[in-house]
């Protein structure tokens, strides 16, 4: 019985027992492994970094999907960038009023592996008739498409593209008037520079920008942050009662997200606010 040792941070990390190795691909480009762990269920790691685990995948995926969709209130067209495992697609697809879901920037080989070894992540969402999958280059698609979206979601599996200035500008171009962009940006305590970079990208580009957080055990080092860029200043300031009505009306049953979590997630620690140049009362 072997162990998986994460290598994301030098001198600090997490170690998981590999109770059963399910799949492993090692090449010059990447090292992908899927294994079972008694506590975390099936785990997928890429190049020494845990990408997702069955036990806590619901936390990040629910918060990435439901916060902007419920905040928008009338989302019909959603673009997902990355998300090979299908978890974010699963959560978006639970919203009955969404008419079109576009999946962009995935690796078809990794998607196939996840459908085989992590079927609970997508829960059949890859077969949703509203889904359209594009294998076009992410920046090329965003720069040239005539489509406009109500919500754009950036998952970490899409790589460094999501941190570029070009990505933020191109995403803003593809949003409707009340559109919202949310991007996974890392763990603030360990990766504060990623938040500072995202903040610089969003300043002057969105009517309202901020970050929100959620704590997932396999995102080692503290709470996971999401960059929030909204074309409407009202989206982030909705009353709790409005969110509660939308949540109840959706009929969606969650394990992490609820309207109170939604509101509270935008309350950031002082060191994060100072790093991104935001006042504590924003």
The answer for residues whose C-beta is within 8 angstroms of residue 199's C-beta and 6 or more apart is 209, 211, 227, 276, 277, 278
- CA distances, 7 to each of 4, 31, 199, 243 (Å): 9, 12, 26, 39
Q: Model confidence at 162, in pLDDT bands (50, 70, 90)? A: confident
pLDDT at 275 over 90: yes
- What integer pLDDT is reported at residue 281 of this predicted model? 86
Binding residues for S-methyl-5'-thioadenosine: 30, 137-138
Please compute the mean of the pLDDT values over residues 191-200 and round it to a whole number.
95
Residues of the chain with CATH 3.40.50.150: 57-276
| 247 close to 62: Cβ distance less than 8 angstroms | no
- Give the mean pLDDT of the chain: 95
Please compute the mean of the pLDDT values over residues 75-93 and round it to a whole number.
96
- The domain defined by 2-53 folds into Spermidine Synthase; Chain: A, domain 2 (2.30.140)
- The domain defined by 57-276 folds into Rossmann fold (3.40.50)
pLDDT at 141 over 80: yes
Residues of the chain with CATH 2.30.140.10: 2-53
- 113-122, 152-161, 215-224, range with the lowest pLDDT: 152-161
- What integer pLDDT is reported at residue 34 of this predicted model? 97
Binding residues for spermidine: 61, 85
pLDDT in tens, 163-195: 899 999 999 999 999 999 999 999 999 999 999
Helix locations, the chain, DSSP H: 57-72, 87-93, 108-117, 119-122, 138-144, 165-173, 192-202, 240-250, 259-264, 270-276
Binding residues: 30, 61, 85, 137-138
pLDDT at 249 over 60: yes
Tell me the C-alpha distance between 153 and 264, whole Å: 20
Q: What is the DSSP letter of 185?
A: E
Please compute the mean of the pLDDT values over residues 81-86 and round it to a whole number.
94
Residue whose pair of structure tokens reads 């196939």 in the numeric block = 112
Please compute the mean of the pLDDT values over residues 242-256 and round it to a whole number.
98
pLDDT in tens, 55-78: 999 999 999 999 999 999 999 999
């Amino acid at each position: 019985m072997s162990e998986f040792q994460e290598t994301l941070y030098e001198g600090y990390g997490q170690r998981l027992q590999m109770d059963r190795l399910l799949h492993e691909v090692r090449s010059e480009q990447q090292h992908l492994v899927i294994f079972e762990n008694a506590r975390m269920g099936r785990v997928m790691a890429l190049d020494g970094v845990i990408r997702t685990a069955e036990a806590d995948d619901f936390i990040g995926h629910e918060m990435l999907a439901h916060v902007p969709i419920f905040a928008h209130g009338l989302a019909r067209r959603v673009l997902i960038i990355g998300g090979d495992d299908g978890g974010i697609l699963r959560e978006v697809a639970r919203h009955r009023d969404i008419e079109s879901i576009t999946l962009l920037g995935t690796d078809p080989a990794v998607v196939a592996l996840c459908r085989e070894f992590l079927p609970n992540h997508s829960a059949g969402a890859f077969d949703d008739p509203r889904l359209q999958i594009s294998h076009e280059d992410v920046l090329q698609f965003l720069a040239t498409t005539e489509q406009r979206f109500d919500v754009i979601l950036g998952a970490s599996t899409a790589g460094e593209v999501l941190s570029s200035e070009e990505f933020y500008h191109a995403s803003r171009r593809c949003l409707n008037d009340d559109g919202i962009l949310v991007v996974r940006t890392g763990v603030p305590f360990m990766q504060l520079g990623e938040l500072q970079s995202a903040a610089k990208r969003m300043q002057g580009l969105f009517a309202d920008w901020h970050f929100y957080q959620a704590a997932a055990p396999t995102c080692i080092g503290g709470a996971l942050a999401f960059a929030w860029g909204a074309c409407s200043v009202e989206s982030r300031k909705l009353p709790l009662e409005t969110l509660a009505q939308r949540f109840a009306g959706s009929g969606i049953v969650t394990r992490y997200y609820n309207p109170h979590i939604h509101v509270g997630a935008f309350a950031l620690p002082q060191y994060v606010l100072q790093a991104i140049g935001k006042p504590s009362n924003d």
